[in-house]
Every structure is written in C-alpha cells, then in structure tokens.
Structure 1
Amino acid sequence: MNRRKLLKTSLFLGCSAAANPLVTPMTFAAAPWDNRLVVIVLRGAMDGLDAVQPYGDKNYAGLRKTLKGGEAGGASDLDGFFALHPKLNGLMPLWKSGELAFAHAVSTPYRDKRSHFDGQDLLENGGSSADGGLTPGKDGWLNRMLSLVPGTTSETALAVGRENPLILQGDAPAASWSPDADLDLSPQAELLLNAIYKNDPLFAEASEMAVSLSEGRDAPDGMKANQAVRAKALAGFAAERLNMDSRIAAFSIGGWDSHIRQASVIGKALGELETAILTLKQGLGANWQKTAVLCMTEFGRTVRENGNRGTDHGTGGAMVLAGGALKGGKVHGQWPGLASADLYRDRDLMPTNDVRRFAGWAMRDLFGLEKAELERTVFPGVEFGNDPKLLA
C-alpha cells in the first residue's frame, strides 16, 4: 500500500489527519557510525532573547518591559551575562555538567520577508538565498549529508498527516513516521486497521503507537494528550529508534509564534522543549554520551515588545544545543549589543553568525566528515570559519 492509498484508507476509516502546517513529523535515518544526531526544528520563530536572556546588556531591561528577564524574573544565571528562561530551569543540571550550550545572535541567510513557511523551508533546505530560494535539488541538508556516506539505509516507518519534512528529503535513503494526527477511529475501525497490518510487524507497531499517541493513552484520566505528553512521546520514540539502528532523528516542536501574551505562549513551548531534551537523555541511556541535539528555529523576534505583550517576526535568534557529546556550559557567538545603532534595521537582534555553520561543525565532529565537503555539498556557499569546538 503506497502513502496516498494509506491516507485515503485512513480517511475512509474516520482519520481526520491534521492539516495544520505546524504538525509534528518524525524522521529517522540509519547510518554506519555510532554517534547520534537529533535535530529539533522549533517552528514558529522562538524568541532567543527570552529563552536565553542577555540580562547583562544594559539595554535589555528597557526593551522588555513586561517580559522580565534575568534572575529577578526567575531565570537561572548562566555566565553572569546570560540567563536561562525559568521554563528551562530543569536543564540547568545539564549546563553544569557540560551537556548544554547555546549559540546566540544566529540566523539563516533569510531576511526581511519574515514568512514562517519560507523561513522554515530555507532552514531545512540549508540554502544561501536571502529571499528564501532553495538549492536546485530542493532537498534537505540532512539528506545531502547522508549522501556523502556510503552504506546508509532507511528504516521502515509509518507516516500519517503532513508530508515528509524537507530537512531529510532527497536522494539518500530515509524514512518517516508521524504520530501527530488526530486518529478518530471507532473500535471497529481500529480492529480493521490492526487486521490490515497483522502480517507486517513494523507497520503494526507504528500503527499501534500512532493510535495510542493520538488517543492520549499516556495522559491521565484518558484525556487527550497535551503538548508536553506529545513532546515526551516524540522524544521517547526517537530515543528508542536511536538505541537501535537509527543514528539521525529529526522532529519539530511548534507553538513559538508569540505575537500576543508571549509569557504564556513561550512558556508552554519551552516546557515542551525541556521535556523533549530530558526525555531524550533518559531514553538514550549510555548512548546520550554519543549524542548531540541541535534545536533551531526559522528566525528570531523583534527586540522591542509590541503592544500586545508579545514580539513580532525578527531576524537574529538563538540555538539550543544539548547532549553528552557536547563540550557544553558555554553561550557561543559574538554578542552584537542591543543599542539602537547595533540592531538590524533598528528592530531586530543583529545576526553575527550562521546556524548552518554550527550544524556543519557538529556533523564534522560527530561523523568525521570533511569540512570542505560539508561546505561544498551540505551547506553550499557557507564558509565554516574557525572551529567553535562544540563537541568534547
């Protein structure tokens, strides 16, 4: 049964697959090495100035009048200049053990149009076009990286809902599975679905997990799975696969578009991110020490608050890096400052570094790939510059 027939059959059975563009897919790829890479796309433009707060910048407090930063706002001090949002305080043990780091004032080359869809496509494609144009192959940078390695294989999985994410699309073998759809199945329909996959253990297992997640079976009192439960399920499933044959996993966490009442919006999303990272650590066990997690977003947000206690689409943002393979406990990057003259177009954090550069160095160190090949094939047009020494 091909994907289109599967989707049509699911709809016939009562499947109302989520049409939301922020639906969360999961993608896996097996590869001939022992280290692991997890890429989490933070869809909706995370405000890096709120997640990793530059409270040591004298201009910060005046620009964020209701979004209180620093230790006075409940954040945890990182290095005397940056503080971690209180909803990520559960990650502080990782910071202290060198398993957490950040990169600030980073971006893709995307500028000014500030479309979520174009920004996300460019982030996952890894191209160099400021207007959002993609590489000729319209493939994903993780897939291009896999094309450099002989012997990669795909892992059979079930995809329901949104089309495969761009980040792993391309000629190299990879497979996907998406639990993030509302499978409104009657008991009879669920029995029929199980009968269809009875003789295919891989599809049967994935189908059962998809139904379980959509019904919120992990949630108390039979309630629908909330976002935190879903994040835990996604990360737990990723860890399970990475403990087997998979070496690369990519999934997304949505809910970062904080135009209104940002304190509430970003708090929920950061809670999901914290849950996902801690679940990966717990689930991976000893393999956590061989793992790097890269969390990246399509662009940052405006430096100044708007009139709705939120922030609008911006430019420079932040990356979150985690994993036992890291040489953590550091905020990477060159801080541009928040004075009016230091901002991009007098509204956004000025980008001083490229998210693709950090991803490229992580892949070089994890998988032993040649820097020149990564610059030429995976991120064409990017000069990696000096090694930021992300990994231990």
Structure 2
Amino acid sequence: MTQTFNRRAFLSRSAIIGCSLAASPLLTPVSLAAAPGDNRLVVILLRGGMDGLDVVRPYADPAYAALRGDAGLNDPEGAIDLDGYFALHPALRPLMPLWKNGQLGFAHAVSTPYRDKRSHFDGQDLLEAGLSALDQGVSRDGWLNRVLQHLPDSTSETAYAVGQDPLAVLGGPATTQRWSPEADLALSPQAIELARLIMADDPPFASALAQALDISDGDGDAVAMMGSPNEMMAMANNNMRNAGKSSTEMRIAEFIGKRLRDDTRIAAFSINGWDTHFNQARVLPSALGRLADAILTLQSTVSGPIWNKTTVVAVTEFGRTARTNGSGGSDHGTGGLMVMAGGALRGGKVMGDWPGLDEAQLYARRDLMPTRDVRAYLGWLLHSQFGLPASTLETDIFPGLDLGENPSLIR
C-alpha cells in the first residue's frame, strides 16, 4: 500500500535541519510502479476536460465550420493537416515528427461511461477508478493499481511520498510509490546525520529521508556538501533557478524517463489547465505546449530501445461542447479525445468511429457523440503491453466493459 505523509508535518519535523527543504515547493506527485517484462506505460491525466474538437479538428466534416469556424489550415502557423479530414492544433506542431514516424496517434469520440452531470470531480473519479458508475458495489481502487494486482512478481519502485496525495488511478492495495519532483535537498553531512538521528525512532519518516537522499544523489544533485548555511541556501536557490528554465511537466517527464530506464514499468501523473470556458484560443495552447513538452522530454530521456517499448497515453474526464460559447470558450461536454505516443505505438492515424457533427448526430444535440469507451483503448493497450487476458480486463480491471474489436495499437 502506498505510504502517505503530511507535507506540513514533515516540514515542521525537518525545520531543525535547515530551510533548504522548505525552499523548494512540493507540487505535482508522480506515481510509479515496477512490473515484470520490458514494456513501459505512462498515463497522463489531463484534468479539466480537454477540448478534443480543437486539438484534433475534423475540418472536413460539413458541420464543423458552422460550429467552430475556420480550422486555420490556410495560416502558415495554423493547424496542420493530418489525413485530409483531421487537422492538428498548431500548439502540438513539435509532435509532428512523432506523427510522421508513426509514434503519435489519437482516438476521437471516446469517453468514460459518465453522462449528463458533467462534474469534474465525478468525471475524474470515474476515469481513475475505471468503473462504469461510481455507485457500483465494487472496489474503487484505481484501475492501474488493479493492473499491478494481476501482474506476477510486480514490485514497488523506489518512491517519494513527500507532498500531495497519490493519484487515485494508482491507489489501492498493490504497492506503489510517489515522489514530488521539486524536492531537491541541499544539506551538509552534519545536517544529514542530524536528520537521521531525529527520525531514527520514526521508521516511515526515516525511510522517506533515506529514499530522498538516495534519489537526489543518484540523479546527480549534490545533497551532502560542505559549507556554511549561506552557501547551502545559495545552492538551493541555484537549483530553483535552473528548475525555472524548464516546465514542471518537463522535470516530471525527465524524472519518469530515468526511472523507466531502470525498474519502473508503469508511471502516472497529471497536467492541469484544460477547463477552457473562457478565451480558449489563449488558454488551450499553453496546456498543449506543456503536454508536448512532457511527451518529447520522455522521448529524449528514455530514448533508444526503451522508447521503442514505451507507450504514453493522455486521457481526460470528458470532452467539451461542439459549439463554442459567447466567451470564446467551450463548456463541459461528453465525447472527447485520447492522445497516444511512444515508440511501441502503431500510430500515424486518428482512430475511432467518427459520429459526425450535425445537430441530430450530437449527444443531447450539444456534445460530440461518444462512439467508444476510452477504457476499451486502455484495455487493449494493457493486453498488448502486459499480456492481461481480455476476460481479466472486462471483469477485474474495468468491470462491466465490453472491449470490442482490437484496434491493434501496439507494433
């Protein structure tokens, strides 16, 4: 079971060893797990409801222009044609080399079974639980945790439970670990020894400190250093300035990539900022840029043969309305988009049964009609990557799911 620690309590216990611990904010947690085999899976939760109709624009649908206007294909810096029917948002232009190499793909008109209420909280709960309904009389463990329970000889990866709560998608009885990427330590040898003595009678905190020191040293961060408190603070500040040169998502992706080069086989993290009720043309490109940064950093960090065994999937709790609103945004909808990348992916295409955008073809005459459960794509990925039988996926991992036809996502 994942150990959790209260950030405030930990920092208050750590105050005696100096302020360098508190100098780095502890933000987005990363969840990781080790599993047998060579294949890797990274799950990115896009919190807020990504507008798939803007990200992968069905410009050749006759109803698209009336709902969304011009797709932007005639602008040199605008959308990029993918296949004569769909065009990619310009903010994802850096991912086009992956598309051309068959290492980027999309599944359109997908959703969880969640309908009509369109609550972020319920939608995200259902997405991470992997269930058909939140009132089901079954465990609400995360679906990735249930995957680990079915993998023989799966073990926990070294993890860092200092910071926020773990992602629910990996929550449950199978052992997983966590780490917050900004938790760099700049401590003298004396301070490290003092910290160990202070926490010696508190095994969970002693273990967390040992793990944090180990990963900091293993990633090339000079943890133990000689010098005055001012010199240690200068080092911590320098670490923060260097971190500021890259996005949080890039630092997370680099950390995950390094773990994937070792024992880790499954990782999950989230990217916020997808709730685009207002001024979507300004807000969405920022979120897409961070997603592109994360995917490309994973690719460059993992690289080579390991990248060829890696699949990255980005999923969101629901899509957005087919028609934009009066504030230049879009409201909570139903059918959405799944983003996939990786060297193991058989990409270079937009998958799914396109339902059309005429009013009669929309869900409730307002949203993109879902034509496939997003869990079916996730299930077939798990089948291909980790050998889980279809019967296990339909009954234990995603209870009540009909996997349907295999979309052959993996090479």
TM normalised by structure 2 equals: 0.84
Question: Structure 1 79/167 Cα, relative in aligned 2: closer, same or farther at 3 Å?
Answer: same
Q: Does 1:33 align with 2:42?
A: no
**1:77-226 equivalence runs, <5 A:** 77-129=81-133, 132-133=134-135, 136-179=138-181, 196=195, 201-206=210-215, 222=241, 225=244
Q: How high is the sequence identity, in percent, across the aligned residues?
A: 51
Give the match for residue 242 of structure 1: 260
**1:1-392 equivalence runs, <5 A:** 3-4=4-5, 7-11=8-12, 13=15, 15=22, 24-65=28-69, 68-73=70-75, 74-129=78-133, 132-133=134-135, 136-179=138-181, 196=195, 201-206=210-215, 222=241, 225=244, 229-286=247-304, 287-392=306-411
1:27-52, Cα deviation, whole Å (9 max, x unpaired): 00001111100000011111000111
Using the alignment, how far apart are the partners of 2:264 and 2:39 within structure 1? Answer: 10
Using the alignment, how far apart are the partners of 1:125 and 1:164 within structure 2? Answer: 13
Q: CA deviation at 1:4?
A: 3.6
Q: CA deviation at 1:373?
A: 1.1
Q: CA deviation at 1:204?
A: 1.1
TM normalised by structure 1 equals: 0.88
Counterpart contact for 1:25–1:180, Cα < 8 Å: no
Counterpart contact for 1:122–1:134, Cα < 8 Å: no
AA paired with 1:367?
F
AA paired with 2:35?
A
Question: Structure 1 111/270 Cα, relative in aligned 2: closer, same or farther at 3 Å?
Answer: same
1:155-208, Cα deviation, whole Å (9 max, x unpaired): 221123321111011121211112368x9x9x8999957952699552214568
Using the alignment, how far apart are the partners of 1:88 and 1:195 within structure 2? Answer: 48
Question: Structure 1 191/387 Cα, relative in aligned 2: closer, same or farther at 3 Å?
Answer: farther
Which is higher, the Rg of structure 1 or of structure 2?
2
Counterpart contact for 1:261–1:309, Cα < 8 Å: yes
Question: Structure 1 148/350 Cα, relative in aligned 2: closer, same or farther at 3 Å?
Answer: same
Using the alignment, how far apart are the partners of 1:242 and 1:174 within structure 2? Answer: 14
How much is the aligned-residue C-alpha RMSD, in angstroms?
Answer: 2.9
Q: CA deviation at 1:79?
A: 0.4
Q: CA deviation at 1:216?
A: 8.2
AA paired with 1:31?
A
Using the alignment, how far apart are the partners of 1:233 and 1:282 within structure 2? Answer: 12
AA paired with 1:157?
A
Alignment gaps of 5+ in structure 1 = none
1:253-283, Cα deviation, whole Å (9 max, x unpaired): 1111111111111100000000000011111
Using the alignment, how far apart are the partners of 2:177 and 2:102 within structure 1? Answer: 32
